[in-house]
Structure 1
Amino acid sequence: MKRVFVLHILPLEFYPPVTNFLNILSKEPGVAAKVYSTHNNKDRREYFVPGIKIFRSNYPSYIKRKSEKLWAFLVMVVGPLLQMLLYKPHSVLYYEPHSAFSVYLYKKFFNRKVNVFIHYHEYYSPEEFLGEGMSWVNYFHKKEVAFLYKKAVWISQTNTSRLSYFKKDHPDIEKEKLRTLANYPPKSWSNINFKEENPLSKLRLLYIGALSFENTYIKEILDFVLKHPTKVTLDIYSFNTKKEVSSYIKAMSVENITYYDKGIDYNRIPEMAVNYDVGLVLYKGHNLNYIYNAPNKLFEYLACGLSVWVPKNLLGCAPYLNDSTKPAVIQVDYVGLPQELLLKSKALADLPFYSSPYNDEDELKTIITFLKQVS
C-alpha cells in the first residue's frame, strides 16, 4: 500500500481540481492518503471524502490579531510536518509555494527518501514573489528553488504555455521532471441530459466565479445585457465578489440580470448549468498567469454542454477555439460586444453536438500511476 501525503495550505473548497483529485485517489486500489489544508473564510461547506483523513488549521492571512496570526503561521508549518512524521508517506504532493516549507523541512531533515511531487494551479513570475503580502511565500519559494526543485520527481503546471515560462525561469530543472496537468471536471459531468435550445427564447448567459472591476469584464458584460433586455439574460453565481461590484449589480434591479451572491456548490453546477446557452469567461488577462490561462470554468462549461465566450486576450484559450460544433468556444472582445454576437450564439444550436473530451479521470491517470509506482 503506497502512502501519499497531500499538502494544500490554501483552503480546499476554493480549488475543485484538488478535491476532484482526492475523490479519485480515495477510490484508487493500492493507495492510502492523508491531507493537510486550512479552513476557508467564505462559509463554504468543508470538503470531506470517505477514506481520506483531512487535517486543517487556520490560514494566517484570514486572521487580524498579530499574536493569533503568528500562532496560525507556526501551526501551518509545524502541523503538516508532524503529520508527515507520524504517517511516514512514500510520496508527498504539495500545491503552490504556500505549501513548500513543511515539505522542505521533512525532506531535508527527516526523510530524504520521500518522493516529492509539486503542482501549481497558477504560474508565478519572479516579480510576483516580490509583491505586497508575499514575503513569507517568497521565503518558502526560495527553499523550493534551492532544494525541492532539485529533489522533486514531478513538477507540473496546468498547460504548456505556463510550463514554458516556468522553464525559462528555472532552466536548470531536468526536463523529465516537468509535466502538464490540466484542471478538468469529472467525467460524469458530460453524462447530463442536455435540454434542447429554444431558438425563439432569449439567449441565456451564465457566469460562475470571482468578480472585480480590475480583473474581469463584469461591467462590460452587464452593459451589454442591459442594452438587450428582450434578447438576453445573465445569471451570476459568485461568493467571491468585491464589495463595489456586488453593490453595483444589486443596485441595477433589472429583470434580465440575476445575481446569486452565495455562489453555488461545485457539485450542483451540472444540474444548474443545463438551463443556459453560453458560459462566460471574463478574465481581463492582467498578468502572464492569466494571459496564458485556460480557466477551469472553460472546461466546466463545456462539460455541461454550454458554448463559451472567452476574451480575445486570453491566449491560453486559443487552442480550444471552435465554431463548427457545439459546445463551441467563441473568442470575443468584451470591450465592444456587437449585437451580431447574439445571432451567432443562437445559431450554434443548429451545429452537431459532441460531448467534451476533457475530464479529470483521464487527465490524472499519469500522476496517479506515478504515485503508485515510485518506491
Structure 2
Amino acid sequence: MKKVFILHLLPLEYYPPVTNLLDIIHQRKPFTVKVYSTHNTKHRPVYNRASIPVYRSDYPAYVANPLLKIWAYLQLVIKPLWYMWRFRPDAILYYEPHSAAPAYLYKRYFRSRVKVFIHNHEYYAPEEFNEAAMGSIRFFHHLERTYLYKKAVWISQTNRQRLALFHKDYPFIPSQVLHTLANYPPESWQKHRKSRLASPRVRLLYIGALSFENTHIKSVVDFVLQHQDQMSLDIYAYNVSQEVQQFLEGQDEEVIRYFKAGVNYIDIPNIAQSFDIGLVLYNGHNLNYIYNAPNKLFEYLACGLNVWVPEELAGCRPYLNSQNRPQVLSLNYNELDSSLISTHLASLELPLMNTTYYCNQELQPLIQALS
C-alpha cells in the first residue's frame, strides 16, 4: 500500500478542508497516512482518528519566549524530517508555504523520488511575502518558488480565479500540474436540511472570524437592530478582535446573540437547521479575499440556508442563484434595506435545489493521484 505523509504546520483544527480529507482517508483507507501539525491554542477539540497518527509541536507564532520560539522553529523542521525518514513516504502533501521547509529538505536531500503535492488554502500575491510579518514564510516560499514548484506533481488552489492568478505569478509551472480543490463540507450534512417555513423573525446566522477592518459586521448588526421586530442574528466566532467582542457583548441579547466560544465544526449542521440565512461578511480587503469562495458559503448551502454574500467577493459570483432555494444573493452591505426581508420570504415558494458541493466527490482526484 502507498504511504503518504501530510505536512500541515498550521493547527489542523482551524482548517476543516484538511480534516475532511483525513476523515475520508480514515474511512476508505486508500493508502497509509501520517500527519505532522501543531498544537491549537484556541481550545478547538483536538482532531484524532485511530488509523491516522498525528505528530505535533508548538507553532512558533504562538510562543512568546524568544528562546522557546527558536526551539519551536527548529522542531518544526527537524521533527517532521525525522518522522518522514522513518516512514519513507511515496508522496508528501503539504499545505501552504508555512509547511514547505521539511518537504524541501526531504525531497532534495533524503529521497528525491518522493512525489510532492501542494495545496494552498489561501492565495498569496507575490508582494505579500515582502511584508514584515512574513519573514520566515518569505524564506519558505523561496524554497517553493526555486525548487518545489518545479518538482511538484500537483499544485492546487481553491477556485479557478485564484488558480489563474497563481499561474500568472509563476508561469513556469506546467498547466497539467495545476488543479482546483474547493472547500466543500461532507455529504452527510445534507441529511440535516429541513424545509423552511415563514416565521415571526427571519433568523440570520454568522460563523467565522470577525474584525471591523476586514468584515461588514458593523453594517449587518445595525441593519438587524433597525428591523429587530422582523430579524435576529446569532454569531458564532472564537477568532474576534477585542473591539468587535466588546461591540457584540454590548448588544441586546434578544436580537444579537454572540457565542464567543464559536461552534465545533461537526456541530454546524445541527445548529444551522434552526436558521434561515447564512451570512458571508468578508469585505474583500485584498486579492485573496476578493477571489474567495469561503468555506461557509458551501457549508450554509449544504444545510439548506439561503446565503447573503458581499458584492465585492468575485469568488462567490459563480454560485449566485436567485431562481431556486437555497438562494445565494450578492449584496451591498453598506446599503442594506428592508426589501431583503420580503425577498427572503418570497424565496420560500421557490423550488428546492439539491446542492452538489460536497468534499466526498471534490477530493477524489487528489486521493486518486496520491494513491
> Which TM-score band (shorter chain)?
over 0.9
Partner of 2:159: 159
Who is 2:330 aligned against? 331
CA distance in 2, matches of 1:54, 1:29: 16
* Residue 268 of structure 1: aligned partner: 267
Gaps of 5+ in 1: none
Q: Which position in structure 2 is the counterpart of 1:116?
A: 116
1:182 aligns to what? 182
Give deviations 1:8-54, integer Å, cap 9, x for gaps. 00000100000000000112244110000000110111111120000
Aligned to 2:34: 34
Deviation at 1:234, TM superposition (A): 0.2
* 2:233 match: secondary structure: strand
Aligned to 1:22: 22
Match of 1:236, as an amino acid? I
Matches within 5 A, 1:267-306: 267-306=266-305
- Does the residue aligned with 1:93 lie in a helix, a strand or coil? strand
Residue 43 (structure 2) aligns with:
43
Alpha-carbon contact 1:321-1:330 (below 8 Å) kept: yes
Q: Which moved more, 1:45-54 or 1:154-163?
A: 45-54
CA-CA distance at 1:191 after TM superposition: 1.8
SS in 2 for 1:230: coil
- The AA in structure 2 aligned to 1:346 is L
Instruction: Give the direction of change, closer, same or farther, for the CA distance of 1:225–1:30 in structure 2 (3 Å limit).
Output: closer
Please give the alpha-carbon distance, in whole angstroms, between the structure 2 residues aligned to 1:196 and 1:311: 23
State the AA in 2 paired with 1:207: Y
Q: Trace 1:85-96 onto structure 2 (pairs within 5 A).
A: 85-96=85-96
Q: How far apart are 1:200 and its partner, in Å? A: 4.1
Normalised TM-score (structure 1): 0.98
Q: What is the total number of aligned residue pairs between the two structures? A: 371
1:245 aligns with 244
Q: Residues 232-280 of structure 1, C-alpha deviation per residue, up to 9 Å, x if partnerless?
A: 0000000101011000110123411100000010000001100000000
Where 2:21 maps in the other structure, the secondary structure is helix
Q: Which amino acid counterpart does residue 363 of structure 2 have in structure 1?
A: L
TM-superposed deviation, 1:132: 2.4
Q: Shift in Å at residue 355 of structure 1?
A: 2.1
Tell me, yes or no, if the aligned pair for 1:293 and 1:314 is still in contact at 8 Å: yes
The AA in structure 1 aligned to 2:259 is Y
Pairing of 1:35-74 with structure 2 (within 5 A): 35-74=35-74
**8 A Cα contact 1:309 1:329, kept in partner:** yes
Q: Deviations over 1:112-168 (max 9, x none)?
A: 000000000000001111112111100000000111011100000000000000011
Query: Are the aligned partners of 2:196 and 2:276 in contact in 1 as well (CA < 8 Å)?
Result: no
1:352 aligns with 2:359: no
Cα deviation for residue 345 of structure 1 reads 1.1
CA distance in 2, matches of 1:75, 1:221: 43
- Aligned-partner Cα distance in 2 for 1:37–1:136: 17
1:259 aligns with 2:273: no
Secondary structure of 2:132's partner? coil
Give the 3-state SS of the residue equivalent to 1:191 in structure 2. helix
- Separation (CA, whole Å) in 1 of partners of 2:164 and 2:195: 40
CA distance in 1, matches of 2:364, 2:154: 14
Distance in 1, Cα, partners of 2:334 & 2:253: 22
| Secondary structure in 2 matching 1:252 | coil
| Letter in structure 1 aligned against 2:330 | Q
Q: Is the 8 A contact 2:121 2:157 kept in 1?
A: yes
TM-score (norm 2): 0.99
Q: Tell me, yes or no, if the aligned pair for 1:37 and 1:54 is still in contact at 8 Å.
A: yes
User: Relative to structure 1, is the Cα distance of residues 119 and 203 closer, same or farther in structure 2, using a 3 angstrom cutoff?
Assistant: same
Quote the offset at 1:193 in angstroms: 4.4
**Letter paired with 1:129:** F
Partner secondary structure for residue 111 of structure 2: coil
* Contact 1:26 1:32 (8 Å CA) reproduced: no
Q: Report the Cα distance in structure 2 between the residues aligned to 1:280 and 1:196, rounded to whole angstroms.
A: 17
2 CA distance for matches of 1:190 and 1:357? Answer: 10
Please list every run of at least 4 consecutive aligned residues from structure 1 whose deviation after the TM superposition is greater than 2 angstroms.
27-30
What is the match of residue 306 of structure 2?
307
Q: Which amino acid aligns with 1:77?
A: V
Taking the TM superposition and a 5 Å limit, the aligned residue runs for 1:195-206 are: 195-197=195-197, 199-206=198-205
- Counterpart of 1:126 in structure 2 is 126
SS of 1:335's equivalent in the other structure is: coil
Q: Which amino acid aligns with 2:53?
A: K
